[in-house]
Amino acid sequence: MIIDCHGHYTTAPKELQAFRDEQIKGNDTPAPLKISDDQIRETIQNGQLKMQQDRGSDITIFSPRAAGMGHHIGTGKTSEVWTDVCNTLIHRVVKLFPKNFIGVAQLPQTPGVPPSNSIKELERCVNEFGFIGCNLNPDPSGGKWTDPPMTDKKWWYPFYEKMVELDVPAMIHVSAACNPAFHTTGSHYLNGDTAAFMQCLTSDLFKNFPTLKFIIPHGGGAVPYHWGRFRGLAQDMKLPPIGELLLNNIYFDTCVYHLPGQELLTKVIPLDNILFASEMIGAVRGIDPETGHPYDDTKRYIEQLALAPDDKARLYEGNARRVYGRLSSQLTRQFAAST
Amino acid sequence: MIIDCHGHYTTAPKELQAFRDEQIKGNDTPAPLKISDDQIRETIQNGQLKMQQDRGSDITIFSPRAAGMGHHIGTGKTSEVWTDVCNTLIHRVVKLFPKNFIGVAQLPQTPGVPPSNSIKELERCVNEFGFIGCNLNPDPSGGKWTDPPMTDKKWWYPFYEKMVELDVPAMIHVSAACNPAFHTTGSHYLNGDTAAFMQCLTSDLFKNFPTLKFIIPHGGGAVPYHWGRFRGLAQDMKLPPIGELLLNNIYFDTCVYHLPGQELLTKVIPLDNILFASEMIGAVRGIDPETGHPYDDTKRYIEQLALAPDDKARLYEGNARRVYGRLSSQLTRQFAAST
């Protein structure tokens, strides 16, 4: 089985954006969203499901559009209403396609509001919807980086306690940049990944939460490319080796859109810490003229690597089942429901 | 000849920091700095010069300590006084060791103050000191990213006009982070590199300044590792291929502290766009237990790559002579002065 741990509902019916546009205009609670099951079926069957089938993956760990989270827009109330709508829509996708998608929650974060505010929605998504993780935004301000680092005890720890209790990991994923210094998918995403990794490296977060798990997407931002730098920085700070310090808790996905990047990733990061992902349909949608194939068809690169069958099986499936503690039982439930 | 394009005077005598500490306390114009030639000789002979000789490089393109620039501290006046002192010290190093160092200028940037404010200091450093480039900070706020992007016409173009007129390139280099979200050398440096590259990608900067040249340090931040992503993003935006769009103007250094990173860099980036560098004595100072050699001995990695002799010569010397338009004539002058 091939599990893609990083997919967003980027093809949602246009009614969703119309709802959001109302919010952006200042109306926190627009008229209830009306999207039919047929509309959802159409967007999925012609979108993510078609590409799963074309490319040969089986299950996508699926969440609302990351750039759409827009935690910097409006107030805490705005984010709560928006997040409810987005997560409910993911739940409907999963109910319609239980053999192909499994849910991950957006959180109603807002700059200046403690993340404990997101506990209720996480519980709802996990306990009522069967979601198996969440996307945690290390910078709800959208590129101004005004909130405390992810390692701040008072700010973040109550939320981590709930994650650990529920046995769900978080993908560390910023949303759209509203700072003109950053391009959302070209620099803000990658910079968010790198910043979060370094926050973890310089803290005792995982000493305090030994079972807390983070997935750093986009191949870990700049981290694997600069693995020597990070190993050396940890060493200069008299910290334990990175493996011991971070690799029981931090995982990287394979959203790297060319073969040399995938070669590097799998060369420097232990195979136990890499989860297959493509982020399709996502940031990069074209065909690479150098290969004749889509940039984000990441499976194609991985198939070109000289991985042992057991390593490949872990990267494609085993690691995801281990990192997402609720994945296997939830899949069993979803498969049973679909027969 | 081996030219290291990225070295900072990180070993300056302690009087320099004492001067700066006075400024940080609020005194913009402390008593004049008193450092003797012997003090400078000692720090260089036991520091950067010793390491040049140990590792087998010949010339270092040398500038004030990057984390020390601290453009966010104080006012425009604070930065002007501090920059004068730092650049004058580099000039003294170069005068004492004209066969081993060649100068690059710090700039008196300050958040909220237009970079045209730095023109006078650039002219002084180039015309009076024989410096061949400058370090340009894309985020003088130190991690708050409050100034306009590097591609903003009104803000940045007057400074670029002067760079082009003087035929000097800029290394894009942030300084210390004062935002707790970022670690200076672990995430802010790399994120600054990636952000600046993406700003250039999404602008017509090099159409307007076809001879403007930027060096993106630290191996280009996250860029080469995500080369497929950047190629794909440019393509989705209907821009010309990145080679055409950016690679007549943007260059990457080799400050990547492990072999797999260097392999990737030289595999995906054309050899004409890579300049040898180590940033020693810099961010990472330890010995890599995996190799038994210093992390930042970047020449050692490059020697392990299967580069053709001509490619290696360009990476070590030819590209630097081409990108730094004043390098060759200045070196000739310095060599003549030293005999």
Residue B140: per-residue pLDDT? 98
Q: Which residue bears the tokens 């002219």? A: B123
Cβ-defined contact of A227 to B263 (cutoff 8 Å): no
Chain B residues closer than 8 Å to A267 by CB = 260
Task: Report d(CA A264, CA B226) in Å as an integer.
Answer: 11
Please state, in angstroms and as integers, the Cα–Cα distance from residue A143 to each residue in A195, A292, B72, B306, following that order: 12, 34, 18, 40
Let me know: does B293 contact B286? Beta carbons within 8 Å: no
CB-nearest to A288 from B183, B232, B268 is B232
Output the CA torsion sign for B16, B17, B23, B26. Answer: negative
Q: Which residues pair with B103 in a beta bridge?
A: B62
Residue B337: per-residue pLDDT? 86
Tokens in use for A143? Answer: 């590129």
Output the CA torsion sign for B18, B21, B22, B27. Answer: positive
Let me know: does A288 contact B233? Beta carbons within 8 Å: no
Q: How does DSSP assign B152-203, residue by residue?
A: -HHHHHHHHHHHHHHT--EEE------STT--IIIIIHHHHHHHHHHHHHTS
pLDDT in tens, B52-96: 999 999 999 999 999 999 999 999 999 999 999 999 999 999 999
pLDDT above 90 (res B156): yes
Task: Report d(CA A71, CA A133) in Å as an integer.
Answer: 18
Residue A333: per-residue pLDDT? 97
Phi/psi of residue B72, nearest 5 degrees: -80, -10
pLDDT in tens, B257-309: 999 999 999 999 999 999 999 999 998 999 999 999 999 999 999 999 999 99
Cβ-defined contact of A256 to B198 (cutoff 8 Å): no
Cβ-defined contact of B144 to A144 (cutoff 8 Å): yes
pLDDT above 80 (res B155): yes
Let me know: does A215 contact A169? Beta carbons within 8 Å: yes
Chain B residues closer than 8 Å to A139 by CB = 181
Q: Which residues pair with A304 in a beta bridge?
A: none
Chain A residues closer than 8 Å to B185 by CB = 229, 233
Share of chain B above pLDDT 70, in %: 100
Mean pLDDT of chain B: 97
* A37-45 helix and A48-55 helix, angle to the nearest 10 degrees: 30
Q: Which helix (H) or strand (E) holds B63?
A: strand B59-64
CB burial of A102-129 (b: ≥16 within 10 Å; e: otherwise) equals: bbbbbbbbbbebbbebbbebbebbbeeb
Q: What is the mean pLDDT of residues B233-237?
A: 98
How many Cβ contacts (< 8 angstroms) between chains A and B?
195
Cα of B140 to nearest chain A Cα, Å = 12
Cα of B104 to nearest chain A Cα, Å = 24
In chain B, the residue whose alpha carbon lies closest to the alpha carbon of A220 is B222
B333: Cα within 13 Å, side-chain hemisphere:
13
Q: How does DSSP assign A243-274, residue by residue?
A: HHHHTTTEEEE----SHHHHHHHHHHS-GGGE
CB-nearest to B233 from A228, A261, A284 is A284
Mapped onto helix, strand or coil, the DSSP state of residue B285 is coil
- Considering only CA atoms, which of A324, A326, A314, A188 is closest in space to residue A254? A314
Round to the nearest angstrom and report the end-to-end CA distance of chain B: 18
Q: How does DSSP assign B208-277, residue by residue?
A: H-TT--EEE-GGGTTTGGGHHHHHHHHHHTTPPPHHHHHTTTEEEE----SHHHHHHHHHHS-GGGEE--
Cβ-defined contact of A225 to B256 (cutoff 8 Å): yes
Q: Which residue bears the tokens 């391009």? A: A183
Q: Reading across the β-sheet that carries A214-216, which strands appear in turn?
A: A134-136, A170-172, A214-216, A250-253, A274-275
Chain A residues closer than 8 Å to B230 by CB = 186
pLDDT in tens, chain A (339 residues): 999 999 999 999 999 999 999 999 999 999 999 999 999 999 999 999 999 999 999 999 999 999 999 999 999 999 999 999 999 999 999 999 999 999 999 999 999 999 999 999 999 999 999 999 999 999 999 999 999 999 999 999 999 999 999 999 999 999 999 999 999 999 999 999 999 999 999 999 999 999 999 999 999 999 999 999 999 999 999 999 999 999 999 999 999 999 999 999 999 999 999 999 999 999 899 999 999 999 999 999 999 999 999 999 999 999 999 999 999 999 999 999 887
Tokens in use for B268? Answer: 């995906």
Residue B197: per-residue pLDDT? 98
In chain B, the residue whose alpha carbon lies closest to the alpha carbon of A231 is B288
Cβ-defined contact of A258 to B228 (cutoff 8 Å): yes
Cβ-defined contact of A261 to B181 (cutoff 8 Å): no
Q: Which residue bears the tokens 């020390």? A: B68
Active site residue A317: no
Cβ-defined contact of B218 to A226 (cutoff 8 Å): yes
- Beta strand spans in A10-44 (E): none
Catalytic residues of B: 279
Tokens in use for A77? Answer: 């109330």
Residue A312: per-residue pLDDT? 97
Residue A136: per-residue pLDDT? 98
- Considering only CA atoms, which of A229, A281, A230 is closest in space to residue A255? A281
Chain A residues closer than 8 Å to B181 by CB = 138-139, 145, 147, 149, 195, 199
What letter represents residue B103's amino acid? G
pLDDT above 90 (res B339): no
pLDDT in tens, A228-267: 999 999 999 999 999 999 999 999 999 999 999 999 999 9
Q: How does DSSP assign B91-137, residue by residue?
A: HHHHHHSTTTEEE-B-----TTS-GGGGHHHHHIIIIIT----EEE-
Cα of A142 to nearest chain B Cα, Å = 12
Q: Which residue bears the tokens 């900067």? A: B205
Task: Report d(CA A159, CA A178) in Å as an integer.
Answer: 25
Tokens in use for B185? Answer: 């050398």
Q: How many residues in chain B? A: 339
Q: Please list the helix, strand and coil fractions of chain A in percent, rounded to the nearest 5, in that order.
A: 50, 10, 40
Residue A337: per-residue pLDDT? 86
The ipTM, to two decimals, is 0.98
| Cβ neighbours of residue B138 closer than 8 Å, sequence gap 6 or more | A181, B149, B150, B172, B174, B192, B195, B196, B199
Residue A76: per-residue pLDDT? 97
Cβ-defined contact of A194 to B195 (cutoff 8 Å): no
- Considering only CA atoms, which of A33, A54, A47 is closest in space to residue A297? A54
Mean pLDDT of chain A: 97
In chain B, the residue whose alpha carbon lies closest to the alpha carbon of A291 is B228
CB-nearest to B227 from A138, A198, A258 is A258
Residue A338: per-residue pLDDT? 81
Phi/psi of residue A171, nearest 5 degrees: -85, 130
Task: Report d(CA B173, CA B71) in Å as an integer.
Answer: 12
Strands B59-64 and B3-9: parallel
Please state, in angstroms and as integers, the Cα–Cα distance from residue B3 to each residue in B143, B224, B278, following that order: 31, 22, 10
Chain B residues closer than 8 Å to A185 by CB = 229, 233
What letter represents residue A262's amino acid? Q
